[in-house]
Amino acid sequence: MDESNIVDNELLDHLFPFYFLADESLKITKAGKGHLKLFPDIIGQSISTYFSFKRPSSASYHFSSIIEYNNQIFILDSTVLKGLLFRGQMIAIEKKQVLLFVGSPWIVNVDDLKKYNLL
């Protein structure tokens, strides 16, 4: 699949360094520089390898389930870095059978920035 027609990767990476694209099988095909810094091996892995759904809690790890919540707020809990949450939107690009997550870490204090090396 050629994601270059889906999003301008350079612009998206600048605006949302914590984005990722996932295909219909929920494998991550592209990720922003923020996610790559935290999870260098994220490309090619399933969303469930790195994240669990805190909100909506009823979403399951199936493309059809996630698109039911298209454009709603998602809170993803890192399964790798305990306590690190990401808040953003999961956008279904149904014509291409792709999911786009755009969001940011949900940081509550400066110590979290240091803890997760986000400075």
Could you read off the pLDDT of 67-96 as tens digits, one per residue? Answer: 899 878 999 999 999 889 999 999 988 778
pLDDT of res. 119? 62
Of residues 67, 64, 77, 61, the one with CA closest to residue 27: 61
**Nearest Cα to Cα of residue 63 among 14, 104, 10, 23:** 23
Better pLDDT: 20 or 115: 20
- Give the per-residue pLDDT at 52: 94
Give the predicted TM-score (pTM) of the model. Answer: 0.83
Q: What percent of the chain stands above pLDDT 90?
A: 52
In this structure, what token pair is assigned to residue 75? 């809170």
pLDDT number for residue 115: 74
Residue of 98 and 8 predicted with greater confidence: 98
- Residue 75 one-letter amino acid: I
Q: How confident is the model at residue 40 (pLDDT cuts 50, 70, 90)?
A: very high
Q: Which amino acid is at 46?
A: S
